[in-house]
Amino acid sequence: MATMRAHATFRPASARHRAPASGSKPRAASTASSRTSRANAPRRARRLLFGALAPDAEAVAGDGREEERDDATPLDNVCFVLCRPQGPQNIGGIARVMQNFGVTDLRIVAPEPGALAPPFDAADEYDRAIHPPEVRARAPLSDEAHKFAVHADWLLRDARRCATADEALADVAFVAATTARPRENLSIADVRAASEVLRRHAANGTKVAVVFGNEATGLTNDELARANLGVMIATSAATSSPASSRKRYTGAKGATSLNLSMAVGVVAYELFQAMGEGEVSGFGSRLMTVDERARLADELAGARRSLDVLRRRHGSATASASASASPDSSATGDSIGDGVGVDEDTTTSEEDRLLDEKEARAIARVLNAGPIATKDAAVLFQLARRTRSVEPYSGVDEAVVDAATDLFARAAAAGKPRPGNKTVLNHVRETLGLSLTTRELERVVTAAGAVDQAEERLNRRSEGEFL
């Protein structure tokens, strides 16, 4: 990009005032005044200074000297020439793709009747134009062309209309002509290499043109004779694969010829890239560092451990109590990994410690699977810290033990043996909607079994439950 901007003060070849050529459509002063009022025309304003000047160019230029703009790019020295286009949809699509890729100098040579508005769309029985090229050069384009141009219809209205290719290329110093097959006495380059050649000329202030032929017949030999370089777009039909060998170019037939608007889109994109304009960017949030990932993994692992049923009661974790005593610094989501740390667990069981390490490794693998933006990580920090801070007030431990105790008391009252662990697991799931791990289930059964069942039955009788 820096290389491109270094030429920001070049003097485009098209900046000289041109009198309307014979046969070209004159532009009214009212058109120029309405043109400058559009809100979406930053490059069109540049065209008034660098490209085809409006009839009131003297008023724009002031003392007659050309004004130089800081936002000028080599694309201002590029024009696209459509020779005898016949599809209004193609013409509209071309205007749209040109605007997207910053090429705003469009020249249309003698459109075919199908691209023109009535009565200029008249053709004979062989579908040949009745009106001569000079008339078709001044005739308005069909409404369909403007419809398919969408917000680029201004480019169709501003397009230079010409009767011949020579008229359209009068001020051009370097011409590249698109072709679907090799030509004698014309150097051929693929579209990417050709775009680099065009970039070098345009960056030096040379007016360059890319010429596109008619959808059905392409460019004539006379039009190709004006070219300095032939441009080909490689397609699968040009390869040596068995599947494509049956579709070799045989002269105006086959898969090597692209739709006109598609071909213009490919060339416009390659030029846009060659000019150094094709930069894209995301939201701009920086990615997490290794240290921040490690801290987030610790936070999530601590939050996961805090959810274990009866873990704190067994003295195997102190993370939740620490979290509840610390401020929730990530409540706004503006920062990550600061203010709250994860306390080390003091496990009473080697098995618990190994399970904790296994879960921590699983969390770390997920976080390391790809880049994570700090903006996205903030919500994970907040989730982990909030989970740990509210866990002491959830009452889950007491609810689970009460559910198991109730199950044991009912069985004892009915004179049945004490329910097994699977029965306890299903009872807790049905009553509380909570699934217990094997370690949690063991702790719940141990805690519920430690409750004095006789005292529990007396308490329930006093409440009238067994009366």
Every domain of the chain and the residues it spans = 2-274, 290-393, 396-462
* Distance between CA atoms of residues 279 and 298, nearest Å: 37
Contacts for 147 with CB less than 8 Å, ≥ 6 apart: 92
| 127, 213, 388 from 254: Cα distances, Å | 23, 17, 67
Q: Is residue 1 packed enough to be buried (19+ CB in 10 Å), middle (13-18) or exposed (0-12)?
A: exposed
Going by their DSSP bridges, the two strands 229-232 and 174-178 should be labelled as parallel
* Distance between CA atoms of residues 321 and 312, nearest Å: 9
pLDDT at 237: 65
Average pLDDT estimate for 220-233: 94
What are the backbone angles phi and psi of residue 79, rounded to the nearest 5°?
Answer: -130, 150
| 29, 211, 251, 267, 434 from 178: Cα distances, Å | 35, 6, 15, 9, 69
Average pLDDT estimate for 28-35: 38
* Distance between CA atoms of residues 345 and 394, nearest Å: 20
Average pLDDT estimate for 8-20: 38
Find residue 106's DSSP bridge partners.
80
Task: Decide if 156 contacts 101 (C-beta within 8 A).
Answer: no
Average pLDDT, the chain: 76
Task: Decide if 148 contacts 88 (C-beta within 8 A).
Answer: yes
Q: Helices 438-449 and 421-432, interaxial angle, to 10°?
A: 100
| 3 state SS of 138 | helix
| 180, 228, 261 from 232: Cα distances, Å | 6, 14, 15
pLDDT per residue as tens digits for the range 421-461: 899 999 999 989 988 888 888 888 888 877 655 554 445 44
Q: What order of strands is seen across the sheet that includes strand 188-190?
A: 160-162, 105-109, 78-83, 208-212, 174-178, 229-232, 188-190
In order, the DSSP letters of 343-365 are PPP--S-HHHHHHHHHHHHHHHH
pLDDT at 466: 39
* Distance between CA atoms of residues 378 and 107, nearest Å: 53
Report DSSP state, residue 308: S
The angle subtended at Cα 459 by Cα 454 and Cα 463, nearest 5°, is 140
Average pLDDT estimate for 353-361: 88
Lowest mean pLDDT: which of 12-26, 103-117, 133-147, 397-411?
A: 12-26
* Distance between CA atoms of residues 178 and 217, nearest Å: 12
Instruction: Name which residue leads in pLDDT, 246 or 332.
Output: 246
* Distance between CA atoms of residues 187 and 195, nearest Å: 14
pLDDT at 234: 87
In order, the DSSP letters of 11-39 are --GGGS--PPPTTSPP--HHHHHHHTT-T
Task: Decide if 209 contacts 167 (C-beta within 8 A).
Answer: no
Would you put residue 430 in left (φ > 0), alpha (ψ -120 to 50) or beta? alpha
Within 13 Å of residue 288, how many CA atoms lie on the same side as its CB? 25
Say if residue 70's pLDDT is above 60. Answer: no
pLDDT at 278: 66
Please state, as a whole number, how many other Cβ atoms lie within 10 Å of the Cβ of residue 382: 18
Contacts for 454 with CB less than 8 Å, ≥ 6 apart: none
How far from the centroid of its chain's Cα atoms is residue 423's Cα? 53
Say if residue 163's pLDDT is above 90. Answer: yes
pLDDT at 285: 73
What are the backbone angles phi and psi of residue 299, rounded to the nearest 5°?
Answer: -60, -45
Instruction: Name which residue leads in pLDDT, 229 or 441.
Output: 229
| 3 state SS of 217 | coil
Please state, as a whole number, how many other Cβ atoms lie within 10 Å of the Cβ of residue 312: 18
| 3 state SS of 294 | helix
The token duo for 174 is 């370097």
Say if residue 42's pLDDT is above 50. Answer: no
Greatest pairwise CA separation for the chain in angstroms:
113
Task: Decide if 162 contacts 137 (C-beta within 8 A).
Answer: yes
CATH top class, domain 2-274: alpha beta
pLDDT at 343: 45
Report DSSP state, residue 142: P
* Spatial CA neighbour of 437 closest among 305, 333, 332: 305
